[in-house]
Amino acid sequence: MASDMRPLNSQEGQICGVSDQACHSKSKSDNDGKPSRAKANGVSSLSGSHNDVKFLKENSGACNLNSDHANPLSVDGAKVSIARSELIDSSDDDGCLHVVNESCMTCDDLFQESDREQPGGTLEDLFSFNDEEDDDSDWEPSARLVLNKWFCLNCTMPNMEEFTHCQNCDELKGSVVVGYDAFKAHLAQAALLSADTALPSVSTAVGFDERMLLHSEIEVKPNPHPERPDRLRAIAASLAAAGIFPSKCVMVPPREITKEELLMVHTSDHIDSVEQTKNMLYSYFTSDTYANGHSACAAKLAAGICADLASLIVFGRVRNGFAMVRPPGHHAGVKQAMGFCLHNNAAVAALAAQRAGAKKVLIVDWDVHHGNGTQEIFDGDNSVLYISLHRHEDGSFYPGTGAAHEVGVMDGQGFSVNIPWSRGGVGDNDYIFAFQHVVLPIAAEFAPDITIISAGFDAARGDPLGCCDVTPFGYSRMTSMLTACSQGKLLVILEGGYNLRSISSSATEVVKVLLGDNPIYDTGATEPSEEGIQTVLQVLSIQQQFWPVLVPSFASVLALQRSVFNKYSE
């Protein structure tokens, strides 16, 4: 352990916009009007020690592997790219990942397994990259590693060796996540929600299981994958530091979703292909969507937690809930895994809510990427209303779907509502403006029995993939606005978000709202941007034919657009 182990002050990050670093996204174009490098709020959850042995064991994979280009393997009809296809044998003594009796081992057992000495890697192993091209990629590192660069743990961006702080988020070089152990120590003390648990009339349930931390990219690469276990550790540490966990929440007992439940969302071939990954050391569904021997278990736990939280909320056992889960899910479609997602957690939760008695379900997706999988699953279903706010840029931003004219098919026409931002840098004012004029009027008319938020925090200030400017205030305000949509029956499911400080502070403010706190106050509220007004007006012009309640909003926003145009043309 380093002798200078100390917590950092809450360092303020900067919005993605450093001139020599492109966003980690499919869109390669510079965006006119991108805001300057503004400061980000955040709960400090990082420490300036790079020699935390436990951190290295948990994040570098159970063994060093050659990063030879993977060969495609067809698994039950799905293309899975694997780098090593030997079955995972529990009798191995090389420290690799194990499957015991085809079920998940506990985290402590697996971490003990990884204590054994690991084989070393060559420089070629460490610095080679998978060059497979895949137009499905949501993650394109801004620079190939050279020996004089280091990658920031907080935001994953590369920096030149001479810098002591990240040039994107200002994080100290060599920082590691701290505070998770405090959260872990409270897990055994947390009140578990069971059938006979006596609960207060107002309560919030949290879903989490440590085994989801075992889902990680095993192939040795010098650059960290954005979707990494530290995302959950950072949020958990922040909740513990804020005094939210365990004193103010109950825990839902984790369980793995059943195949029968998954078959309501995905094809049998897709489910089997994800399940097959437990027999592989590591594998790839797309160039950016990885799996290891524990990913199938993690994905089933995530879906099971979301399903049970949705059911408990509909039954009235708890008022609302926060699913602190990974891998994320909103890109996973009927028959494919993509965009870091294996099973569609929000879709599973929506159908579980309907089995529990909810007739109408609202899904609001504020992840910076369009939830193409969720839209596909409910495209023709008028009992599930899907509203997505996302960066789109005429289809050039990943995954390319989610244009305003995508409104659903057949009976589902009008039940897909897409609010596609035309540029990066979109912040609180545009999001809240869209909520006021599109999201809330439609939601009130729809009158859902439960609202599910696909809560990606990659539109947050400083995120390396989203490059937008939503603050913790923005997320707390949007959460508060949605509490009225279904009598407070609200389930928040973690999706994306890759700046550890941003996701931890934003998620904490969202959970505070679930607990009944008022949104944090923002003193700098201003009008929406011209581009934001134009996007909302476009959506209103299309959706008002399905939702007549939007006609007054359309007239109001049209008048505002004319006013703004006149002001700037004078």
Residue 175 in tokens: 């920082």
Residue spans per domain, the chain: 146-176, 180-527
pLDDT band at 526 (very low <50, low <70, confident <90, very high): confident
- Residue 509 CA to residue 265 CA, distance in Å, equals 31
Residue 220 scores a pLDDT above 90 = no
Indicate the pLDDT class of residue 404, thresholds 50, 70 and 90: very high
Mean pLDDT of 457-486: 96
- Write out the two tokens for 148: 């004089």
**pLDDT tens digits, residue range 75-134?**
333 434 433 333 333 333 333 333 333 445 555 554 444 333 333 322 233 223 344 444
pLDDT at 11 over 90: no
Model confidence band, residue 522 (pLDDT cutoffs 50, 70, 90): low
At 205 the three-state DSSP class reads strand
pTM of the shown model? 0.79
- pLDDT single digits (tens) 349-366: 999 999 999 999 999 999
pLDDT of 565 reads 73
36-50, 216-230, 398-412 — which is least confidently predicted? Answer: 36-50
| pLDDT of 570 | 57
Percent helix, strand, coil in the chain, to 5, is 30, 15, 50
The CATH fold of domain 180-527: Arginase; Chain A (3.40.800)
Task: Give catalytic residues, as residue numbers.
Answer: 331
The average pLDDT across 393-412 equals 97
Band of the pLDDT at 14, cuts 50, 70, 90? very low
Q: State yes or no: pLDDT of 462 exceeds 80.
A: yes
Distance in angstroms (rounded) separating the CA atoms of residues 493 and 303: 10
Under a CB-based contact definition with an 8 Å cutoff, are residues 65 and 126 in contact?
A: no
Question: Which residues have CB under 8 Å from 3's CB, separation 6+?
Answer: none
pLDDT of residue 46: 57
Q: In this structure, are residues 42 and 179 in contact, taking their beta carbons and an 8 Å threshold?
A: no
Q: Look at 187 and 98; give whichever has higher pLDDT.
A: 187
pLDDT band at 234 (very low <50, low <70, confident <90, very high): very high
- Can you say whether the dihedral through the CA atoms of 260, 264, 269, 273 is positive or negative? negative
In this predicted structure, the answer to whether residue 416 has a pLDDT above a threshold of 50 is yes
**Nearest CA-CA partner of 352 in 209, 233, 207:** 207
Q: What is the mean pLDDT of the chain?
A: 79
